[in-house]
Amino acid sequence: MTSSGAFFISFEGIDGAGKSSHIEAVHEALQQRGHRVLLTREPGGTELAEQLRALFLHQSMDALTEALLVFAARRDHLCQRILPALSRGETVLCDRFTDATFAYQGAGRGFDLAVLRQLETWVQDGRQPDLTLWFDLPPDVAAARRAAARAPDRLEREDLAFFERVREGYAQRFAEQPARFARVDSAASMDAVRAQVLQAVADKVG
């Protein structure tokens, strides 16, 4: 738990896993329980970080450039929004955070994990979410959901093998830090997924 009774909760998973569909339900549930809540996302969350997000999603670049852009956006996001909100006693709900970088740029792109860990140390100064909800879903199911929902961005156009590696990257982070994670079976029905999510949040927030 963070200082002042606030909590930092991240929502993770491959594109199409459903995390963004449930973050609003958590937002509403916490507000009804009297929490002050900041709802935000990565890359993004500040004016600068949103500009970097647009570059990240639509401009071609190599894995190192991707990682540097994401961590630059994360640093501004932490300094300008996340850390101030936590210091005020607010609960922060973030659509993606550091685990996405290890899953996408690390496992997906095959980028050096040691470099990512060093960047994580420099940028985050030890800050990790209090709870990470990992929406786990087979990549072929996620691809079908994405195709029915929206036009793909640069990363969403990657093939199934890429998203298999990303899923394995999330599984590795889960194995390394199980106390921080709650795995959500995102292949279940919408109501069943929502029940899993709200229970995991209730268990952490108390």
What is the value of pTM for the model shown? 0.93
Was 17 annotated as part of a binding site? yes
Local confidence band at 148 (pLDDT 50, 70, 90 cut-offs) = confident
Was 110 annotated as part of a binding site? no
Local confidence band at 21 (pLDDT 50, 70, 90 cut-offs) = confident
Was 15 annotated as part of a binding site? yes
Mean pLDDT confidence for 63-82:
97
Local confidence band at 1 (pLDDT 50, 70, 90 cut-offs) = very low
Token digits of residue 99: 């685990």
The 8 Å CB, 24+ separation contacts for 149-156 are 149/16, 153/57, 153/58, 154/57, 154/58, 154/59, 154/60, 155/15, 155/57, 155/104, 156/15, 156/16
Was 169 annotated as part of a binding site? no
Was 45 annotated as part of a binding site? no
pLDDT of residue 22: 94
Local confidence band at 69 (pLDDT 50, 70, 90 cut-offs) = very high
In this structure, the strands spanning 181-185 and 131-136 are parallel
Was 20 annotated as part of a binding site? yes
Was 85 annotated as part of a binding site? no
| Residue 98 near residue 124 (C-beta atoms within 8 A) | yes
Was 19 annotated as part of a binding site? yes
Least confident of 9-13, 147-151, 198-202: 147-151
pLDDT of residue 3: 45
Cross-strand bridge partners of residue 55? none
Mean pLDDT confidence for 164-185:
97
Q: What is the CA radius of gyration of the chain?
A: 16
pLDDT of residue 4: 52
Mean pLDDT confidence for 41-58:
96
User: What percentage of the chain reaches a pLDDT higher than 70?
Assistant: 96
